[in-house]
């Protein structure tokens, strides 16, 4: 298998009107990644060294998106929508390069498993000219049936064309196929359009190949592999299936999910063994968590790196660029963005740390904020190891708090503080006896006057 060259042709030209969206259908996301990108990843995992995207609606937007998730993929435009075989032939130039295997896939089937594609490629290696990936369902209504004789696939029959006996068949067409590269163009070019819609149907190559004495076989995959997305409800269904798969993988790798159904992962979430994740946690793209971390309930994490034995939340938000080192603590109702929290440092309550470094063992008191933005530019706050910042302090960047320095509670710090120094940045308290009573009486009198 490793010596066989493989091209994946991914059909992604559909407008997707039922999505009710200006965004091309296949760019709608599952787990933070466009659904067509999931298809690309599956093809790559199955050994497809070359990728082709056949695009149409929103072609320029598709090219820009593809540059991120499939930078080496070629794109071909299907100028007119004349059927699936016509769409594949839009990539004639790529198909003609002499690949051993051609995988034909759809950009709106994001749950396709690389193993299903690998099995289809193995059948090609054994001599099949066409391999159809099918699925079984107790309720086949609406699906094309796979018609087999003596272990060979002879036709794909749409339900409206099935006999009563054929409608009882529960082995259905999943739409995905593998075609021997040597026969691909010959079979595609033989597809006609003598049907009610006047379109060129890719499924016709089954009967064409069978009629020419070529081996055509069907392989079986789960229904999920063939699940196509046409509307927002189906998009949510696919998201749910993907999340359930990932939760299972994560738990089997040694991670504890206390309420798995409430935890949501992104396509690239990395999470180490012995991590504990409490209920209602959301992981956005770009999260890497080492071993032994604890993520408390209702935390929202994206673009963050979390070292071993860190403690996060509850109700913490880690934004892109948050870098927590070993045994760091970010507690309840805290937000960290573009900042390093070094080993053993604590950001415990109701705090914002942005564009900053918090040194090892430092303690940040409740209600502290780094004032990092002046409306135009961002500025850096550097807090040294072992520093103690008292509650309700504002650190106005750019500013440096030296190692072991102590910031008195309620301070507004606008100048750097040397190591081991104590800094006050607040007005001196003044107490006026009886003034509180006087103010209450004055305010009550004014309120009563308004009511008259």
Q: Which pair of structure tokens corresponds to residue 311?
A: 């403690």
Q: Which pair of structure tokens corresponds to residue 67?
A: 């540059």
Annotated active-site residue 28? The verdict is no
Residues 6+ apart with CB under 8 A from 389: 362, 363, 364, 365, 368, 383, 395, 401, 407
Q: How far apart are CA 346 and CA 359, in angstroms?
A: 10
Q: How far apart are CA 344 and CA 281, in angstroms?
A: 23
Burial level of 36, CB count in 10 A (0-12/13-18/19+)? buried
What backbone phi and psi angles, to 5 degrees, belong to 28? -65, 145
Burial level of 364, CB count in 10 A (0-12/13-18/19+)? buried
Q: How far apart are CA 173 and CA 159, in angstroms?
A: 11
Residues 6+ apart with CB under 8 A from 214: 129, 130, 183
Residues 6+ apart with CB under 8 A from 310: 290, 293, 294, 324, 325, 326, 327, 328, 329, 330
Of the residues 28, 57, 296, 349, which is catalytic? Answer: 349
Q: How far apart are CA 207 and CA 214, in angstroms?
A: 10
- 88 and 2 Cβ atoms separated by less than 8 Å: no
What backbone phi and psi angles, to 5 degrees, belong to 336? -130, 130
Q: Which residues are catalytic?
A: 349
């Amino acid at each position: 298998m490793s010596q066989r060259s493989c091209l994946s042709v991914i059909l992604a030209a559909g407008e997707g009107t039922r999505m009710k969206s200006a965004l091309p259908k296949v760019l709608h996301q599952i787990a933070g990644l466009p659904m067509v990108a999931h298809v690309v990843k599956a093809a790559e995992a199955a050994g497809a060294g070359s990728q082709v995207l056949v695009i149409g609606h929103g072609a320029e937007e598709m090219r820009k998106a593809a540059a991120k998730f499939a930078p080496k993929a070629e794109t071909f435009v299907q100028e007119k929508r004349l059927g699936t075989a016509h769409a594949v032939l839009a990539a004639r130039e790529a198909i003609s390069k002499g690949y051993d295997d051609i995988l034909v896939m759809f950009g709106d089937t994001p749950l396709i498993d690389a193993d299903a594609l690998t099995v289809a490629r193995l059948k090609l290696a054994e001599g099949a000219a066409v391999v159809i990936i099918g699925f079984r369902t107790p309720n086949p209504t609406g699906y094309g049936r796979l018609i087999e004789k003596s272990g060979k696939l002879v036709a794909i029959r749409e339900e409206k064309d099935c006999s009563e006996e054929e409608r009882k068949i529960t082995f259905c067409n999943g739409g995905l196929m593998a075609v021997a590269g040597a026969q691909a163009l010959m079979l595609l070019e033989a597809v006609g359009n003598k049907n009610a819609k006047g379109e060129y149907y890719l499924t016709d190559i089954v009967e064409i190949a069978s009629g020419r004495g070529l081996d055509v076989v069907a392989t079986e995959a789960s229904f999920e592999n063939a699940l196509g997305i046409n509307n927002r409800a189906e998009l949510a269904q696919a998201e749910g299936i993907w999340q359930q798969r990932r939760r299972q993988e994560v738990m089997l790798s040694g991670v504890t999910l206390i309420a798995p159904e409430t935890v949501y992962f992104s396509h690239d979430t990395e999470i180490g063994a012995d991590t504990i994740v409490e209920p209602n946690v959301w992981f956005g793209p770009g999260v890497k968590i080492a071993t032994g971390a604890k993520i408390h309930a209702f935390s929202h994490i994206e673009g963050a790196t979390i070292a071993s034995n860190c403690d996060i939340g509850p109700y913490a938000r880690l934004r892109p660029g948050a870098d927590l080192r070993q045994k760091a603590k970010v507690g309840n109702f805290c937000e960290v963005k573009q900042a390093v929290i070094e080993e053993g440092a604590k950001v415990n309550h109701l705090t914002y740390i942005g564009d900053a470094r918090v040194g090892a063992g430092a303690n940040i008191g409740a209600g502290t904020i780094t004032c990092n933005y002046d409306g135009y530019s961002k500025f850096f706050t550097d807090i040294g190891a072992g520093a103690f910042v008292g509650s309700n302090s504002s650190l106005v960047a750019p500013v440096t708090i030296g190692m072991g320095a102590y910031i008195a509670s309620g301070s507004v710090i606008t100048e750097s503080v040397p190591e081991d120094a104590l800094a006050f940045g607040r007005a001196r308290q003044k107490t006026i006896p009886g003034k509180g009573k006087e103010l209450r009486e004055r305010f009550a009198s004014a309120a009563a006057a308004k009511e008259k």
